[in-house]
């Protein structure tokens, strides 16, 4: 029988960001509640986190940056690199657990124990650069997962779909010269949204030219534009690239009710986008897909969005 994995761990709540920060532990509680209330837990292979081997984090990040983050935690600093990046004494350890849990999940897929999985982790990762924390992110979880797949499991072509409403600047920069990882992102236009990158003309460079694809969405746009871009840009690009493994940066912050952006994606369109990605992974990646939580801040919408997301993964099996 084929299976869907669900990575969650109460220790992901230990990374505290202060009283008013949108990237709060309650996000993961809301997600868990939605999956539990939907009756999905008994059908899932539940995965707990273990800390990553630092060597895998070094596959993406500068060791001096890793040490700098550790020292900041030890010294009790409350923010790191930017005021957005609020931290506490447990941030370093929690970030290691996020990476470790994701790598364990990827391993289970590669070993055939599960077919696909959703990783409900904090802190998120796609804004983290090689030597810089940004946008609530410390380690670039998905980039590390891609390197792990290549270096540990011999996967040659990794496809990354990023449908967080913000452009994954860190992920793009890490792979922009690299034709072995295709990065597709659909996000709010950089003229209107953090982090100010992800324009259509950013297509990769050197040997990586043509392996980055950005589809910016204007404020007020939503379902119609997502349908068009996914059908006409994303799917043909991945049909050509044929990823052997698909990684997904899932952000629920493009939802109409999430006030982190001006993009208005409906609940139904969220499901449609994920179904298309799952179908694509079925066609090219033998169904091997791991989705990793990035943003999503509307606590009222997260339960349903997460439940639908996991249901789609279950139905793919």
Contact string (CB under 5 A) for Zn ion, positions 247-286, x = contact = ----x-x---------------------------------
Is residue 295 within the footprint of Zn ion (CB under 5 A)? yes
> Looking at the chain, how many residues does it have?
317
Q: Give the residue at shortest CB distance from Zn ion.
A: 295
84 lines the binding site for Zn ion (CB under 5 A): no
Residue nearer to Zn ion on the CB measure, 157 or 166: 166
User: Which is nearer to Zn ion, 4 or 291 (by Cβ)?
Assistant: 291
Residues near Zn ion (CB under 5 A), total: 5
* Residue 163 · residue 249 · CB < 8 Å: yes
Q: How far is the CB of 240 from Zn ion (least distance, A)?
A: 27
Report the residue from 8, 157, 166, 255 that binds Zn ion according to the rule CB under 5 A: 166
90-95 contacts: CB < 8 A, separation 24 or more?
90/14, 90/15, 90/16, 91/15, 91/123, 91/138, 92/138, 93/11, 93/14, 93/51, 94/11, 94/12, 94/14, 94/15, 94/122, 94/123, 95/15, 95/69, 95/123, 95/138, 95/139
Give the span between the Cα atoms of 61 and 303, in whole angstroms: 33
Q: Which of 144, 88, 147, 97 is nearest to 122 (CA)?
A: 97
**Phi and psi, residue 133, nearest 5°:** -85, 145
Check if 227 is active-site. Answer: no
- Toward Zn ion, which CB reaches closer, 166 or 309? 166
- Which residue stretches of the chain are H helix? 26-37, 54-58, 63-74, 91-110, 141-153, 169-175, 223-229, 235-241, 267-284, 302-316
- Beta carbon nearer to Zn ion, 149 or 269: 269
Number of H helices, E strands in the chain: 10, 10
Q: Does 176 engage in binding with Zn ion (CB under 5 A)?
A: no
Please give the backbone phi and psi of residue 171, each rounded to the nearest 5 degrees, phi first: -60, -45
- Give yes or no for residue 34 binding Zn ion (CB under 5 A): no
Q: How far is the CB of 43 from Zn ion (least distance, A)?
A: 28
Nearer to Zn ion, 204 or 251 (CB): 251
CA angle 101, 142, 99 (to 5 degrees): 25
CB of 107 to Zn ion, least distance (A): 27
Binding mask 205-244 for Zn ion (x = CB under 5 A): ----------------------------------------
Q: How far is the CB of 106 from Zn ion (least distance, A)?
A: 22
Check if the beta carbon of residue 94 is closer than 8 Å to that of residue 12. Answer: yes
Distance of closest approach, residue 36 Cβ to Zn ion, in angstroms: 24
Task: Please give the Cα distance from 173 to 267 (Å, whole number).
Answer: 30
Kindly state the smallest distance separating residue 114's Cβ from Zn ion, in Å.
26
Which of 126, 127, 166, 309 is an active site residue?
127
Determine, following the binding rule CB under 5 A, whether residue 164 of this chain makes contact with Zn ion: yes
The smaller minimum CB distance to Zn ion, of residues 104 and 164, is found at 164
Instruction: List active site positions.
Output: 127
> For binding to Zn ion (CB under 5 A), which residues are involved?
164, 166, 251, 253, 295
């Amino acid at each position: 029988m084929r299976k869907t994995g669900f990575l969650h761990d109460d220790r992901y709540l230990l990374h505290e960001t202060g009283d008013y920060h949108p990237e709060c532990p309650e996000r993961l509680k809301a997600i868990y509640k939605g999956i539990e209330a939907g009756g999905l837990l008994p059908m899932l292979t539940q995965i707990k986190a273990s800390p990553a081997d630092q060597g895998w984090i070094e596959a993406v990040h500068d060791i001096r940056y890793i040490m700098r983050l550790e020292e900041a935690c030890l010294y009790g600093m409350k923010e790191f690199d930017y005021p957005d990046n609020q931290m506490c004494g447990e941030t370093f350890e929690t970030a290691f657990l996020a990476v470790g849990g994701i790598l364990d999940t990827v391993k289970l897929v590669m070993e055939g124990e599960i077919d696909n999985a959703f990783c409900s982790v904090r802190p998120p990762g796609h804004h983290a650069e090689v030597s810089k924390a940004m946008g609530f992110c410390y380690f670039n979880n998905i980039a590390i997962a891609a390197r792990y797949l290549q270096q540990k499991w011999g996967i040659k072509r990794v496809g990354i779909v990023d449908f967080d409403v913000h452009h994954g600047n860190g992920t793009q920069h890490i792979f922009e010269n690299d034709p072995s990882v295709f990065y597709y992102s659909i996000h709010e236009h950089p003229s209107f949204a953090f982090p100010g990158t992800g324009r259509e003309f950013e297509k990769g460079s050197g040997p990586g030219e043509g392996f980055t694809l950005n589809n910016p969405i204007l404020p007020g746009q939503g379902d119609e534009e997502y349908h068009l871009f996914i059908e006409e840009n994303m799917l043909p690009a991945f049909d050509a690239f044929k990823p052997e493994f698909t990684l997904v940066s899932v952000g629920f912050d493009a939802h109409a009710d999430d006030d982190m952006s001006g993009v208005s994606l409906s609940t139904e369109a969220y499901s449609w986008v994920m179904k298309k990605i799952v179908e694509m992974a079925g066609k090219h990646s033998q169904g091997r897909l791991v989705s990793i939580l990035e943003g999503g801040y509307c606590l009222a919408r997260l339960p349903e969005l997460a439940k639908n997301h996991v249901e789609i993964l279950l139905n793919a099996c």
